[in-house]
Chains A and B, each alone.
Chain A
Amino acid sequence: MSNNSQLSGRKFIIGGFFCLIVIIYMCRLFYIQVIDEQYKLASNNNAFRRSTEYPVRGYIFDRNGKLLVQNSPSYDLMVIPRETKGCDTIGLCEVLEITKEEYLKRMKKACQAPNSPRKESVFEKQMSAKTYAILQEKIYRFKGFFPQKRTVRQYPKPIAAHLLGYVNEVTKEKAEKDPYYREGDYIGITGIERSYEEQLRGKKGTQISITDVHNKIIGRYMNGALDTAAIPGKPLYCTIDMDLQEYGEKLMHGKKGAVVAIEPSTGEILAMISSPVYDPNLLVGGKERSKNYTVLERDTLLPLFNRALIAMYPPGSIFKLLDALIAQNDGVVDKSTVFPCAMGYPPMGGKPKCHKHGGAKDLIGSVAASCNSYYSYVFCRIVDQRKYPKFIDGYNHWRETVMTFGPGTHLGTDLPYDKPGNVPSAPYYDKVFGKNGWRSNTIVSLGIGQAELLLVPLQMANVVATISNRGFYYTPHCIKGVGNQKYLDKKFKEKHFVAVQKQEAYDNVIEGMARAMEPGGTAVASRLKDIVVCGKTGTAQNPHGQSHAVFLAFAPRDNPKIAIACIIENAGFGGVWSAPVVTLMIEKYLKGKTARPEIEKRILDADLINGKNLLSTGFH
């Protein structure tokens, strides 16, 4: 007891210590409850789950309102692993055609983060209709599994795969960069699906649900007052003529190459064929899709490759049209100019070689007969004209004039990934031949569309469209309407005038093109009785074997409705293979059907890929 009095002061220390701890706790509480905002935000993330309602992707129609792309329902098989007790596992494996190991593997994945045994996750993506039908019958036996509806693309006709492109899951990088996408979302990867992604995708809807800690949905937040409905994607109206496209693909079957048809008065792309083609329905769906994609990707004929936009070919003789136009425009050649031909270009000892076409030609005759010697002279005249005392300036003048027609530039269509082709620059030749080490004769084969000159098929079509318009073009494009309004980007309404504006020059060249389809011309075999077609053949030499068969044309001669270019790889002469394809398509477009079934049959039956039917005829 005696000690108690001396120790009783310690009650203040103990009490004070208790109070001190409580004060510290209160400060801490004040900080996390009143000052710090982060916990309030975190609590919102915790308890509410935003689930996404996916919109239906927009339909795509052709120029006549026929359906090119639609959607079909597809079902993902979802699973909540915790609820699968008593599930007929063996039965499910049989339906899905998977092994037990695969089942266990997927189940494990569904249980691991970011998935959870209590949360639904995808077990099988985009089941086939057959699988779904079987599954639906037995679904009561598969506890914890349920199908979830989504939509996938469907193509009523298996055409225009390259132009339309395909959709697939968004890449991780894209999903991180673009806040619209989340991993697992779908996005247009190529073609129209890519370039019109924003219009096609629509707008996702959200549903805000209240969840518990296991992410199990307990109810709708505020009874759905803040939910938004998904807005379906807008339909697109394509400039493609579905019948023409389908016909062109049939004609190009068994051939490697491309066809591009443009309506000259608008720049609308009527058909864009890249062959070999694939059925776009192959790249739809889950398991099937990836299998098919692998097969297509490994195909040595490169069916996934859109040749119409990205395959760069030497243009060959069709390029003579541009030389003829430029030379007349510069006044270095006129209608009556005649150049000799000695089965080749005399100044260079008969190189480039020419073919037998019955003596020296004037301008119109040279277009119709496609004289190599003539255009070697023409090229030199353009490059070496007096106006440009320096040779380099003459060359640059030629090059820049050519480029106003499109070659060597990105045309700027509404399709992704177009290649510019190549019109070699002066510095390039300086490097190859040394400075001042080259002259017009050194590079004279440019004049006949050879050497380093490369064009993509779309540019060839644009050149012929420009000629048919006599000096201007609209940027080729493939969409003319979005939703219910007429939609056209300003850039597609703008006339692009090329550097050749002398109308007489066009008159002469067009006359030559018309004569090419007449006796003595290179494409007489493809002559049409009731339509005046203006065409030009090309037989482009290339390092990959046989020459590429090239042909371009527009029709009718007056008030042209269609301008079209065709290239068939390693097929030989343009007049033999490409001219029939082009003229058949012109007939199809203008008349609805061909009057020359025997030619149609020859083309349809031709399998040039496997080397059959390689006839050699005398036309160039």
Chain B
Amino acid sequence: MARNENSIFYGVDRITILTYALLVVLGWLNIYAAVYNEDHQNIFDTTQKYGKQLIWISGAVVIAFGILLIDANFYTVFAYGFYVFFLTANILVIWLGREVKGSKSWFRFGDFGIQPAEFMKFATNLVLAKFLSNRTIIVNQVFRLRLKDLIKNYKNTLIALLFICVPIVIIKKLQNETGLAIVFIAFVIVLYREGLSVTFLIFGLLAAILFVVSLVVTSLPTLLITLAIIAAGSFLFVGRNRKNLIVVIIVYACSAGVVLGTNYVYNHLEPHQKVRIDVLLGRGNVNLKKEGYNVNQAKIAIGSGGFWGKGYLQGTQTKYDFVPEQDTDFIFCTVGEEWGFFGSTGVIFLELFLILRIIFLSERQRSDFSRIYGYGVAAVLFFHLAVNIGMTIGLMPVIGIPLPFFSYGGSSLWAFTILLFIFIKLDSNRLLILR
């Protein structure tokens, strides 16, 4: 079959597809366990979520085949088209969609719903790949700071960032779906791979650390003085000239700005977001019956699994609905409780394996487009993995994003399938053309 160049499976990476299939099936079995109740024991019962998920999975298979059938050029040629199309869909959903839990991000079709924001991921990924494949974002060393040079150097970076930020703004501000919006940050990893200066990442990381530190340390003067001492100290280690002094002062000013800005940002968060940060950092009095309930119950469910787990369908926490959203964002609790440390590390490894495999495949592409797209897939999957599992084990604030291929939900499954299979298609063509 694979020998036949006309077969849709020609050149397709089977390891990736098998891993994908394994994750989807495991996810489905765990959704069955999470939703399980004794009145509806048939796993094909479409009135139940596991039955519906089977329909979604069938749809995903059809989509996967469809993607493999279409010529790879379709995705490169229409990259901008996809982007504009889904951007429009994401704007239209605000008026045409139905409001669910305070966010307007769903098109409803009877019992089933579609979230266009999920599909924005692959569209953005395509457009980034398209845009960056014949441009560079590498910045040459500049000796004199001139506005003209700056614009010339950073023009492509800024445009790439714009492609990333527009969906963030629409999804966050207009649809009120913070979790879905925040995922687009993952594309920074792509930019890094394509040459974004490490300095920006370090500054970003430092700002994040400072943000957390200033939430934990409540005494503002202590923090500012500590920063000043560090800044003064660091000045002793670099060449003591005026330029470095200016740099240190600017860095200090920025840090102080972050510290002072933290409270402003925190105070302008929505109450439930504040609470989620408080829960994570253990600030104030977290009531385990109320705001801390979800994370605490998730930890109880996972923690009670032990090394080998309680066995499939034996999880008491899972079976009796102690963890809210257990079939979707908190699906990992079911794995943790019923399959234990053994099963949960297994699932994480499987996801990690898929991601590393995609990186590996990306690096063997001759085409920049395919490579950049591949990194986008890996970055988005990893971001979901890290945030989703991080929140269930109390290492991340609660951000409602699904575990790839695992969580219940048609939109996310389909979106991930499209995201992945476009890459598989691109990869299968790696020997044919040089794009």
The answer to whether B322 touches A212, judged by C-beta atoms less than 8 angstroms apart, is yes
Per-residue B-contact encoding for A1-20, CB less than 8 Å = 1, 0 else: 10110011011001100110
Closest-CB distance, B240 to chain A (whole angstroms): 31
Residues of B within 8 Å of A28, CB to CB, are: 393-395
Residues of B within 8 Å of A21, CB to CB, are: 382, 386
Q: Which residues of chain B from 376 to 391 have any CB-CB distance to chain A below 8 Å in the complex?
A: 378, 382, 386, 389-390
Q: Which of A3, A10, A18, A40 contacts B352 (CB 8 A)?
A: A18
Question: Which of the 9-residue segments A29-37, A63-71, A124-132, A324-332 touches chain B?
Answer: A29-37
The answer to whether B344 touches A33, judged by C-beta atoms less than 8 angstroms apart, is yes
The answer to whether A32 touches B393, judged by C-beta atoms less than 8 angstroms apart, is yes
Closest-CB distance, A35 to chain B (whole angstroms): 10
The answer to whether B299 touches A29, judged by C-beta atoms less than 8 angstroms apart, is no
Is the CB of B242 closer than 8 A to any CB of chain A?
no
Per-residue B-contact encoding for A27-54, CB less than 8 Å = 1, 0 else: 0111011101011101100111000000
Q: A28-B395, A29-B393, A34-B307 given as contacts; is B359 within 8 A of A11 (CB)?
A: yes
Q: How far is the CA of A211 from the CA of B302 in the complex (A)?
A: 19
Q: A11-B363, A26-B348 given as contacts; is B303 within 8 A of A32 (CB)?
A: yes
Q: How far is the CA of A60 from the CA of B303 in the complex (A)?
A: 52
Q: Which residues of chain A from 170 to 227 have any CB-CB distance to chain B below 8 Å in the complex?
A: 210-214, 218
Residues of B within 8 Å of A213, CB to CB, are: 297, 320-322
The answer to whether B316 touches A1, judged by C-beta atoms less than 8 angstroms apart, is no
Is the CB of B193 closer than 8 A to any CB of chain A?
yes
Residues of A within 8 Å of B404, CB to CB, are: none
Interface SS of B by simple majority: helix
Closest-CB distance, B429 to chain A (whole angstroms): 18
Q: How far is the CA of A42 from the CA of B305 in the complex (A)?
A: 12
Is the CB of B301 closer than 8 A to any CB of chain A?
yes
Interface SS of A by simple majority: helix
Closest-CB distance, A21 to chain B (whole angstroms): 5
Is the CB of A25 closer than 8 A to any CB of chain B?
yes
Q: Which residues of chain B from 101 to 149 have any CB-CB distance to chain A below 8 Å in the complex?
A: 136, 138
Q: Which of B289, B307, B345, B362 contacts A26 (CB 8 A)?
A: B345
Q: A18-B382, A25-B389 given as contacts; is B300 within 8 A of A7 (CB)?
A: no
Closest-CB distance, B386 to chain A (whole angstroms): 5
Is the CB of A432 closer than 8 A to any CB of chain B?
no
Q: Which of A15, A46, A211, A218 contacts B356 (CB 8 A)?
A: A15
Residues of A within 8 Å of B336, CB to CB, are: 29, 33
Is the CB of B153 closer than 8 A to any CB of chain A?
no
The answer to whether A4 touches B368, judged by C-beta atoms less than 8 angstroms apart, is yes
Q: Which of B303, B348, B371, B375 contacts A43 (CB 8 A)?
A: B303
Q: Which residues of chain B from 349 to 379 have any CB-CB distance to chain A below 8 Å in the complex?
A: 349, 352, 355-356, 359, 362-363, 368, 371, 375, 378
Q: Which of B138, B299, B303, B348 contacts A22 (CB 8 A)?
A: B348
Q: How far is the CA of A3 from the CA of B195 in the complex (A)?
A: 8
The answer to whether A47 touches B382, judged by C-beta atoms less than 8 angstroms apart, is no
Q: How far is the CA of A4 from the CA of B364 in the complex (A)?
A: 11
The answer to whether A19 touches B352, judged by C-beta atoms less than 8 angstroms apart, is yes
Q: Which of A18, A32, A218 contacts B320 (CB 8 A)?
A: A218
Q: Which residues of chain B from 381 to 435 have any CB-CB distance to chain A below 8 Å in the complex?
A: 382, 386, 389-390, 393-395
Residues of A within 8 Å of B393, CB to CB, are: 25, 28-29, 32
Is the CB of B317 closer than 8 A to any CB of chain A?
yes
Q: Which of A19, A39, A48, A210 contacts B302 (CB 8 A)?
A: A39
A26 (CB) vs chain B CBs: closest residue: B345
Q: Which of B304, B375, B382, B386 contacts A39 (CB 8 A)?
A: B304
The answer to whether A33 touches B300, judged by C-beta atoms less than 8 angstroms apart, is no
Is the CB of B85 closer than 8 A to any CB of chain A?
no
Residues of A within 8 Å of B291, CB to CB, are: none
Residues of A within 8 Å of B231, CB to CB, are: none
B362 (CB) vs chain A CBs: closest residue: A11
Closest-CB distance, A91 to chain B (whole angstroms): 34
Q: Which residues of chain B from 7 to 21 have any CB-CB distance to chain A below 8 Å in the complex?
A: none
Is the CB of A295 closer than 8 A to any CB of chain B?
no
Closest-CB distance, A65 to chain B (whole angstroms): 52
Q: Which of B317, B368, B389 contacts A47 (CB 8 A)?
A: B317
B393 (CB) vs chain A CBs: closest residue: A28
Residues of B within 8 Å of A1, CB to CB, are: 368
Is the CB of B341 closer than 8 A to any CB of chain A?
yes
Task: Enumerate 23 A-B pairs (CB-CB under 8 Å) in ascending A order.
Answer: A7-B193, A7-B195, A10-B193, A11-B362, A15-B359, A18-B378, A19-B356, A22-B349, A24-B395, A28-B395, A29-B302, A29-B345, A32-B299, A32-B303, A33-B303, A33-B307, A33-B336, A33-B340, A42-B304, A46-B297, A47-B320, A212-B321, A214-B321
Interface residues of B (CB under 8 A from A): 136, 138, 189, 192-195, 289, 297, 299-307, 316-317, 320-322, 336, 340-341, 344-345, 348-349, 352, 355-356, 359, 362-363, 368, 371, 375, 378, 382, 386, 389-390, 393-395
What are the 5 A-B residue pairs with the smallest beta carbon separation, nearest first? A39-B303, A43-B304, A212-B320, A47-B316, A32-B303
